[in-house]
Amino acid sequence: MATAERTFLLPCTCSARVSVTAGQAGGRTVCAACSREIDVPRLRDLAAYAVDQPRGTVVPRSGLGRGLVVAGCAVAISAAVLASSLVPIGGLFFPQPTTVTEIRAAVSAAPPTDVHSAWQSMARSSVARPATQEELRLQQFAAHAAGVANLLWGISGIGLVVAVAGAAIAASGRSVGGGAPQ
Give the residues lining the site for Zn ion (CB under 5 A): 12, 14, 16, 31, 33-34, 36
Which helix (H) or strand (E) segment holds residue 38: the answer is: strand 37-39
C-alpha pair distances (Å), 124 with each of 106, 119, 121, 129, 131: 19, 9, 5, 11, 11
Distance CA 31, CA 54 (A): 18
To the nearest whole angstrom, how small is the minimum distance from the Cβ of residue 155 to Zn ion? 53
**Nearest residue (CB) to Zn ion, 16 versus 167:** 16
To the nearest whole angstrom, how small is the minimum distance from the Cβ of residue 24 to Zn ion? 16
Under 8 Å between Cβ of 177 and 53: yes
To the nearest whole angstrom, how small is the minimum distance from the Cβ of residue 43 to Zn ion? 22
To the nearest whole angstrom, how small is the minimum distance from the Cβ of residue 28 to Zn ion? 13
**Nearest residue (CB) to Zn ion, 16 versus 109:** 16
**Nearest residue (CB) to Zn ion, 41 versus 166:** 41
Examine residue 88 and say whether the peptide bond preceding it is cis (omega within 30 degrees of 0).
no
**Nearest residue (CB) to Zn ion, 33 versus 136:** 33
